[in-house]
Chains A and B, each alone.
Chain A
Amino acid sequence: MGDNRVHALRGVNLEIKRGEFVAIMGASGSGKSTFMNILGCLDKPTLGRYLLEGTDVAALDKTQLARIRNRQIGFVFQGFNLLSRTTALENTELPTLYARIAKTERRERALHSLSLVGLGDRTDHFPSQLSGGQQQRVAIARALVNRPSILLADEPTGNLDSRTSVEVMEIFQTLNDQGLTIILVTHETDIANFARRSILFRDGSIRRDELIPKRLIATEVIKTMPKLDD
C-alpha cells in the first residue's frame, strides 16, 4: 500500500454496527486485505474517511493508532503469528504489556482469556508444543486480553482442518453472542456462513452486501462431524 497510484479500494461505503458478525469475502487482489488493514488501523485511506466509534482515524497520529490497535481492536491472523519460544500465557499477555497494566492484573487477564478459549490447562506450553487449532485459540485469547470492542480475523481458519475451523467459529459465535463485533475475512463460503452478514469484494469495490439467510450454528455443526483426537 506504499504506492499511492494503485487504487486497492474505490467507492467503498459501508457501515458496520456494534455487535455485528460480518464475513468479508473475495478473491485475492479484490481489496479485502487493504480494507481489513484500514479497519485495523494498520493503514490509512489515502482518500475518504474511516470513522471508528465516531472518531476519524485519518486525524490520529501513529501513537494514537497504536493505542486503538492495542485496546479497541483484537487481531487474529491466518498464520497465528504467535511469538515462538514464548509460552501461551506470555503470548496472551503481550497486548497488556503495551497497555501498561500492572503485572498481577496482566497475569489474571491472560489466564482468564486463555480459559475463555478452553486453554486454561496449556498456559506454559510453547507454540511448537500446540496443535494448529490450539495455536489459533492462543491467538484469539491474545486478541481478547485487552477486552476490545472489535475482533478482526484475517483468514483465521485458512491453516486449520475443517473440524478445528468449526471449533474456532464456535468461539467466535459465543463471543459475538456476548456483544463483541467480529469482522472475519475468508474465501470459504462454509466459514462465512457462520457470520450474520456477508460482504463480497471484487476489484476494489463491494459487489454484494447481504444478511446470511441460513446461518450455521457451530455447536450444532460440530455434533455432525466425526470426533478427532486432539
Chain B
Amino acid sequence: MDLIATLQIALRVLLRNKARSILTMLGIIIGVGAVIAMIGIGQGADQTVQKQIATLGSNMIFISSGSRRVGGLSVGYGGTKSLVESDVEAIARECPAVVAAAPGTQTSAQIVYEGDNWGTRIVGTTPEYFDIRTWDFQSGSSFTHDDVTTAANVAVIGETVRKNLFASVNPIGKKMRIGSLPFVVVGVLVAKGQSAALSEDQDDTIIAPLTTVQKKITGQPWLRFAMVSASSRANSYVAQQQIEALLRDRHRIRAGEPADFVVRNLADIADVASEASQVMTVLLGSIGGVSLFVGGLGIMNIMLVSVTERTREIGIRIAIGATEGDVKRQFLIEAVVISLFGGVIGILLGIGASFVISSTAGWPIAISTVAILVAALVSIAIGIFFGFYPAQKAARLDPIEALRYE
C-alpha cells in the first residue's frame, strides 16, 4: 500500500477518535514543549551572560590579591598585601601569552561637584586598563602614563556618575572633589550596563591614575587586583597558567601551598554566571525527558487498544492480501502521526513558553531551528519506537482467528 493511502487511513482513524488522540498526544506535547522551552530559555540566558562577559574585556584574566572567596565568585579584595605593581610589570614582560596588564586598586569615596554629591567606587590603575576592558570614551580621553608617574589629580568617570553629577553640563575639564582633593575630569566612558556576572553597575565608577589613588586616597602601596589581556581567547588558559606560575615564583610560594592571589579567566566567571540558567535548563530537560517517555508509553498503550479493537479489520485486510509489512506499516504510521502531531503542537507551545519566560526575564528570544528539527525527528522516533510492538502484534495476527473476532 502506498504511503499517501496509508497516511489517509491513519488520519481518518485518528480523527475518528479525536479526544483519545489528543489525550494520547499530551505526553509528547508536554515533553517536546518543555525541551523546546528549555533550549530557547537556555540559549537566551546564555547569550545574555556571554554579552555581559564580553563587556568585562577582551580575553580578560582577573588577578585578585588575597585568597578570600565568597560564594565562589565574589572576589575577596585586599586579603593580602603581597600583590604589587612590579608583579604586574613582570607579568606583562615575562608571560608570552599576555599582551597587556594593568595594576589596580580600589576604594569607595564620596564625590562632590558644585552642590551635588555621589558615592561611588574609585579605581586606581594605568591607561592599559581601558584597552584590556575594551572600554571606549564617549568624550575626552584617558589619563596618560605621565599622569600616573606624577600622581596627577585627573579622573575618568563612568556614565552613571556623569548622569548623577553632570546631567546638564559637559564634564570634561570640570573640577570635582574626591574627599577634599580636587580632580579634573578628563574623560567620560561609554555605558557598559549592569553586569550580572559581577552583580554590579559597571558604569558607577571613577577611574584615576594608580599612584594618585595609592598615595593620596588609600595610602596603601599594594594592589587589590590586576587585569590582564591574553593574546587570544584560546590562549587565556595558557596565560592563566603562566601568570600563576610567575606569581607563585615571585611570591616564593612552594608547590602545594595555597597561593596568596587568585587568577580567574572569563570562562570561570561565565560558568558561575550561567549556573542559574543551567538549573532551569536541567529542570525543564528532565521534565521533558520523563514526559516524552511517558508520552511514548501512552502511544504504545493506545496503539495496543487500537489493535485489539480493530482485530477484525486487520483480519479482513490480511485476508484480501495485506502483507505483514503492509499491516505493520499502517500501525507504525498511525503511531508516528500521533507523536509527530504531538511534537508539532509541543514545538508551538514551547516557542510560546520561551517567548513568555524570556521576555519576563529580559533575555533575548532565541528560537533554534536545529532544536525544532531535532524535536520533530525525536517525535517521529518515539512514534516508531513505541509503535513498533503494537504494529508487530497487529501484523502477526492469525487472519482466520482475527476474522472470527467479535
Q: Which A residues lie at the B interface, using CB under 8 A?
A: 1-2, 37, 40, 42-43, 62-63, 66-67, 69-71, 75, 77, 81-83, 85, 94-95, 97-100, 142, 146
Q: Which stretch from B173-181, B314-322, B379-387 is at the chain A interface? A: B314-322
Q: List 13 A-B contacts (CB under 8 A).
A: A1-B400, A66-B321, A66-B323, A69-B319, A70-B321, A81-B403, A82-B316, A94-B316, A95-B321, A97-B1, A97-B5, A100-B2, A142-B320
A-B contact count (CB 8 A): 61
Bound-complex Cα distance A210 to B336 (A): 55
**B252 interface contact, C-beta 8 A:** no
Q: Are B320's CB and A40's CB within 8 A?
A: no
Given known pairs A97-B1, A100-B2, the reply for A75 and B320 (CB within 8 Å) is yes
Choose among A1, A37, A42, A97 the residue with the greatest number of B CB atoms under 10 Å from its CB.
A97
Bound-complex Cα distance A213 to B225 (A): 118
Q: How far is the CB of B260 from chain A (nearest CB, A)?
A: 80
Choose among A37, A85, A94 the residue with the greatest number of B CB atoms under 10 Å from its CB.
A94
Q: Are A98's CB and B326's CB within 8 A?
A: yes
**Could you give, for residues 278-313 of chain B, a 1 whenever the CB lies within 8 Å of some chain A CB and a 0 otherwise?**
000000000000000000000000000000000011
Q: Which residues of B contact A2 (CB under 8 A)?
A: 398
**B324 interface contact, C-beta 8 A:** yes
Q: How far is the CB of A20 from chain B (nearest CB, A)?
A: 22
Q: Which residues of B contact A100 (CB under 8 A)?
A: 1-2
Q: Which residues of B contact A62 (CB under 8 A)?
A: 323-324
Bound-complex Cα distance A63 to B1 (A): 13
Given known pairs A83-B313, A98-B326, the reply for A37 and B400 (CB within 8 Å) is yes
Q: Are A95's CB and B320's CB within 8 A?
A: yes
Q: Are B400's CB and A43's CB within 8 A?
A: yes
Q: Besides A70-B321, A94-B316, A95-B320, 19 other CB < 8 A contacts?
A: A1-B400, A2-B398, A37-B400, A42-B399, A43-B400, A62-B324, A66-B322, A66-B323, A66-B326, A67-B323, A69-B318, A81-B312, A83-B316, A85-B16, A97-B2, A98-B320, A98-B323, A99-B321, A146-B321
> Considering the complex of A and B, which 5 residue pairs feature the smallest CB-CB distances, nearest first?
A70-B321, A66-B323, A98-B321, A97-B1, A95-B320
Bound-complex Cα distance A67 to B320 (A): 9
Q: Which residues of A contact B96 (CB under 8 A)?
A: none
Bound-complex Cα distance A39 to B281 (A): 63
Q: Are B1's CB and A98's CB within 8 A?
A: yes
Bound-complex Cα distance A146 to B321 (A): 10
Q: Are A69's CB and B321's CB within 8 A?
A: yes
Bound-complex Cα distance A100 to B1 (A): 6
**B325 interface contact, C-beta 8 A:** yes
- Cβ-closest chain A residue relative to B312: A81
Q: How far is the CB of B18 from chain A (nearest CB, A)?
A: 14
Q: Which residues of B contact A99 (CB under 8 A)?
A: 321
Give which listed residue, A71, A75, A82, A83, contacts B319 with CB less than 8 A.
A75
Q: Which residues of B contact A66 (CB under 8 A)?
A: 318, 321-324, 326
Q: How far is the CB of B267 from chain A (nearest CB, A)?
A: 59
Q: How far is the CB of B17 from chain A (nearest CB, A)?
A: 11
Give which listed residue, B16, B317, B400, contacts A94 with CB less than 8 A.
B317
Q: Which residues of B contact A83 (CB under 8 A)?
A: 313, 316
Bound-complex Cα distance A69 to B316 (A): 11
